[in-house]
Structure 1
Amino acid sequence: MIFDERPKDNRRDLFDREKELEKIENNIIAKKPLLLLVGVRRIGKTSVLQTALNEINETSLIIDCRKLKENYGRRDLYSLFSQSLTSRLDKLKDILRKINGVSIFGNYVELKWSGKDYISIADLLDHLNERRIIIAIDEAQKLRGPLSKEVKDAIAHAYDYDKNITFILTGSEVGLLYDFLGVNDVESPLYGRYYNEIELERFDKEKSIEMLKKGFEELSFSIKDDIINSIVNEFDGIPGWLVFAGLQYFNKRDFNEIKETAISIALNEIEKLTGKSPASRRYKTVMKCIAKGNESWSKVKECLELEEKSTISSSILSNILGNLEKMSLIKDYKFLDPIYKEASIRIKP
């Protein structure tokens, strides 16, 4: 069903994205080592990823990095791999039971992450290479941190030596994903490694209308064109928001309430993305300044200084703007998601 807010896992429920699915399949068939699947939040990366993996006749693992806290440790990292391996135990038991540092208890895979007989991620990948396997790392930018080099070393090693492994990395904070990979960092173990990239774009107005009409048809619900146009105009072709708005309208019939709920969700997400430190408050103020229509460096600086009643270092402002772009919140002083813009206007000092 199109208006299912959970990530899709089959082509029947996934609207459009035929070209992107074909590109992923072709990369997998060609045994390409590294593929990036990128796009703004709610653009449908997880749905496209899960659908593609379900359609191929290969063993796959999904490492969901959204579960990682900011300063994650080795225990947290290995827990992600353990959970993923457990979900594919029926496919991998014969390989896993032979590996030192890996234990199978009932339906659960345990990984030794320290001490005697510990298994490194690179060693684990070498063993998994016995079989053709796709390893998908969802929201891979979350792997930045003290253990990022260990992860990148393992991926780089597999890139060179484990020919049966294809990595698919997704990221909604695209600049931070590039930072994690170190695409411009000569010190990164992945520097210079070739990767294919697929970017999911938002739907144009025609596609958005088609998606909404099909979703309402599946629910046998008659809806006026002006409501469809209002949803399209407010949510700007981002599939996740279109699904949210369509399902909410089916249940509540109140478009203004739906929009307010979406803005509240975005405000909560902004809070999580920027944090609560004194420095993070300045990020929120910059977002608010841009949302108010200050679409140049000088105008944002003036707005920020008026808000804080203080002079602001040019380098600090440049750093904030750069990070907001890396987080895929803004580009060229414009918001990539109109709901985030509306939410930013409402940020309280």
Structure 2
Amino acid sequence: MFLQGPCHNREELFDREDELRTITKALKNNAWVAILGPRMAGKTSLAIVSANLMGKKTFYVNFKGAENLRDATLRILSALGRSKMKGIKRARVGPIEVEREVEKPSAILEDVLLGLKKAVVVFDEVQDIKQGVNQFLNILSLVRNTRRDVEFIFTGSAIGLMDSLLNPDPQNPLYGRSPIKIEIGPWDLQTALEFLEKGLKKCNAPFTSKELSETIEELGTLPGWLSFYGLRRCTGISHKKALEEAIGEGVKVARGELENILRNRPEWARKVLRAMAFGAKWSELLKLGPSKSGLYKFLTTLQKLYLVSKKGNLYVISDPIYRKACLEL
């Protein structure tokens, strides 16, 4: 149960029955689906399992770090088993070999996607694509209109390409045909406890109720963080050591995400994140240096990334692992 990678079949996926049922019904009715939620919530697992239940060819493409259409096209071609981008030739400039683009990525991508038959395509972390969004939407619209035997599942946070998919304006080619939106988040306490208990029993790892409570208190209830712990317990590592390593690994992942968010942002953004680890009011955050409009935009982005929630008049980093990572910034 405590997998290092995403689940691929129903037996591996814990919980999420309602979401799985909704997604498969949508796909059977030729609707596309967008799965939103924080990192480590299990979006990728839910998407892949849903796709594999459809009885069609499944293609999985991870867009993590692919900021433009060309990068996205290369990853799609790789996922489809094509090692080289059609239209990209290598040329030598002095002693250096470089790539020379002779055809637009949009034309290549259109040709590739329109050539799919009886397939479900999972586009993971689509929020990372920020350049070439309009071209991508035009291609998806063309596929939507001409390939009724091809469905798409998009996963990510509600920014970038995902925001354009879910909130199209009248000029958007997908206006009126947005994907069905599915949101997943941390488990409730009882479900998280059941996940740990079932997984630890399955691998015959000893545990106490106190240990499970301590694990959830330190890691929260996102499936990914709990799997970090469970996997270590199943290899024979003690509770104390497994929890320590899971926290360390989780904070490392979370800090990487936060540093990526802070890239090219002013120094006040780092201070704002630190302050929200403890919970902070709007007025308190303004004292850290941002303008009202700058702070509003930053908080909106963080909320769309499922990193910040508002509790009363406080803005809070609700996940304990991200909270620990914020304090290390």
TM-score category (smaller protein): 0.7 to 0.9
Q: Cα distance, 1:234 vs. partner? A: 2.5
Q: Cα distance, 1:257 vs. partner? A: 4.8
- Which residue of structure 1 aligns with residue 319 of structure 2? 337
- Which residue of structure 2 aligns with residue 43 of structure 1? 41
Q: Cα distance, 1:57 vs. partner? A: 0.9
Is the 1:134–1:168 Cα contact (8 Å) retained in structure 2? yes
Distance, in Å, in 1 between the alignment partners of 2:159 and 2:221 is 22
Instruction: Classify the secondary structure of the residue corresponding to 2:35.
Output: strand
- Which residue of structure 2 aligns with residue 96 of structure 1? none
Is the 2:279–2:317 Cα contact (8 Å) retained in structure 1? no
- Which residue of structure 2 aligns with residue 94 of structure 1? none
Matched, 1:111 2:94: no
Q: Cα distance, 1:340 vs. partner? A: 0.6
- Which residue of structure 1 aligns with residue 278 of structure 2? 292
In 2 relative to 1, CA 268–57 (structure 1 residues): closer, same or farther, beyond 3 Å?
same
Q: Cα distance, 1:170 vs. partner? A: 0.6
Return the match for 1:262 from 250, 258, 267. 250
Residues 86-107 of structure 1 show CA distances to partners (whole Å, capped at 9, x for unaligned) of 1xxxxxxxxxxxxxxxxx7xxx
Is the 1:176–1:326 Cα contact (8 Å) retained in structure 2? no
Is the 2:7–2:49 Cα contact (8 Å) retained in structure 1? yes
Return the match for 2:143 from 140, 158, 170. 158
Q: Cα distance, 1:239 vs. partner? A: 0.5
5 Å matches for 1:1-349?
Answer: 2-32=1-31, 34-68=32-66, 70=67, 72=68, 74=70, 76-86=71-81, 108=83, 110-112=85-87, 115=102, 119-128=107-116, 131-145=117-131, 147-171=132-156, 173-181=157-165, 183-249=167-233, 250-254=236-240, 255-275=243-263, 277=264, 279-294=265-280, 296-302=281-287, 304-305=288-289, 312-332=290-310, 333-347=315-329
Is the 2:254–2:322 Cα contact (8 Å) retained in structure 1? yes
Distance, in Å, in 1 between the alignment partners of 2:228 and 2:180 is 31
Residues 272-294 of structure 1 show CA distances to partners (whole Å, capped at 9, x for unaligned) of 2322x3x2532221111111221
Q: State the TM-score, normalizing by the size of structure 2.
A: 0.85
Residue type of the partner of 1:44? G
Is the 1:144–1:180 Cα contact (8 Å) retained in structure 2? no
Instruction: Classify the secondary structure of the residue corresponding to 1:174.
Output: coil
Is the 1:328–1:336 Cα contact (8 Å) retained in structure 2? no
Distance, in Å, in 2 between the alignment partners of 1:180 and 1:50 is 23
Residue type of the partner of 1:187? Q
Percent identity (aligned): 26
**Aligned Cα root-mean-square deviation (Å):** 2.4
In 2 relative to 1, CA 195–179 (structure 1 residues): closer, same or farther, beyond 3 Å?
closer
Q: Cα distance, 1:230 vs. partner? A: 1.0
Residue type of the partner of 1:287? L
Residue type of the partner of 2:298? I
Q: Cα distance, 1:46 vs. partner? A: 0.9
User: Aligned pair count?
Assistant: 308
Is the 1:182–1:190 Cα contact (8 Å) retained in structure 2? no
Distance, in Å, in 2 between the alignment partners of 1:199 and 1:117 is 34
Q: Any stretches of 5+ residues in structure 2 without a counterpart?
A: 89-100
- More helix by percentage: 1
Residues 184-233 of structure 1 show CA distances to partners (whole Å, capped at 9, x for unaligned) of 53333223323211112321111111110111112211111101011122
Q: Cα distance, 1:65 vs. partner? A: 0.6
